[in-house]
């Protein structure tokens, strides 16, 4: 809370006159503080195991529900086990270079990192180009683009918008990402809610992750979260 209050004060102070800017660049300080905070947060929250209920709703009204187990690593790896009626039907793994989806009674699917897309899970219904690191950071609610020339906007007393590469991260006064708006050729909207403290972590994790694209919506509802031992 104190960190965000300080950031907002810097934003307000920076508009009072050019004399201040002779001594420091307030917006650079803000970006550095936010970048440092989320890099430290990612070291912990990117090493986590999650048990979740996941539902998809498509443009034609069809809905599919699964249970999934996520294993994230700050080594840029992710494993997703997919269950239906208590039976594992698929397992996805990516190491940031190659991704593979193993399916029961079906051929495996493989993608190189540059061609990775959520369509690896369903060619007909899912279409969202994504990198392994982006997938990890979206699930763990961290910033996933380098903040090199970020634009800062104070939306109100408790919300900041930080924008880089046509991706907007809306951050609240608890330094939690509330929304991500992606408009970089992709069009996606992500909303986080129900942040909770988990054991062995000083950071809260959102137990609800809502993703919306032009063709589908996905809701991830975490049932359990455990910090992994490295």
Average pLDDT over residues 94-119: 97
Distance CA 163, CA 27 (A): 12
Does 98 score more than 50 pLDDT? Answer: yes
Distance CA 52, CA 209 (A): 10
pLDDT value at residue 14: 46
Does 92 score more than 50 pLDDT? Answer: yes
Distance CA 122, CA 216 (A): 12
pLDDT band at 152 (very low <50, low <70, confident <90, very high): confident
Pair of tokens at residue 92? 């996805």
pLDDT value at residue 118: 97
For strands 151-154 and 167-171, give the pairing: unpaired
- For 7-23, write each residue's pLDDT tens digit: 554 454 444 444 444 33
Does 1 score more than 70 pLDDT? Answer: no
């Amino acid at each position: 809370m104190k960190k965000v209050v300080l950031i907002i004060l810097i934003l307000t102070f920076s508009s009072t006159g050019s004399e201040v800017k002779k001594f420091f660049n307030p917006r650079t300080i803000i970006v550095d503080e936010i970048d440092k905070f989320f890099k430290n947060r990612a070291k912990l929250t990117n090493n986590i195991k999650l048990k979740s209920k996941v539902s998809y709703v498509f443009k034609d009204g069809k809905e599919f529900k699964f249970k999934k187990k996520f294993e994230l690593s700050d080594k840029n790896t992710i494993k997703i086990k997919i269950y239906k009626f208590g039976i594992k039907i698929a397992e996805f793994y990516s190491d940031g270079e190659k991704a593979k989806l193993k399916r029961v009674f079906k051929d495996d699917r493989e993608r190189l990192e540059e061609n990775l897309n959520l369509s690896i899970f369903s060619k007909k219904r899912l279409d969202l180009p994504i990198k392994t690191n982006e997938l990890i950071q979206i699930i763990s609610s961290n910033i996933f683009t380098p903040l090199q020339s970020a634009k800062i906007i104070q939306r109100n007393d408790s919300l900041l918008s930080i924008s880089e590469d046509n991706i907007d991260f809306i951050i609240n006064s608890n330094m939690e990402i509330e929304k991500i708006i992606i408009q970089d050729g992709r069009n996606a909207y992500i909303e986080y809610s129900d942040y909770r403290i988990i054991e062995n972590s000083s950071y809260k994790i959102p137990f609800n992750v809502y993703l919306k694209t032009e063709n589908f919506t996905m809701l991830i509802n975490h049932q359990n979260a455990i910090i992994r031992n490295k």
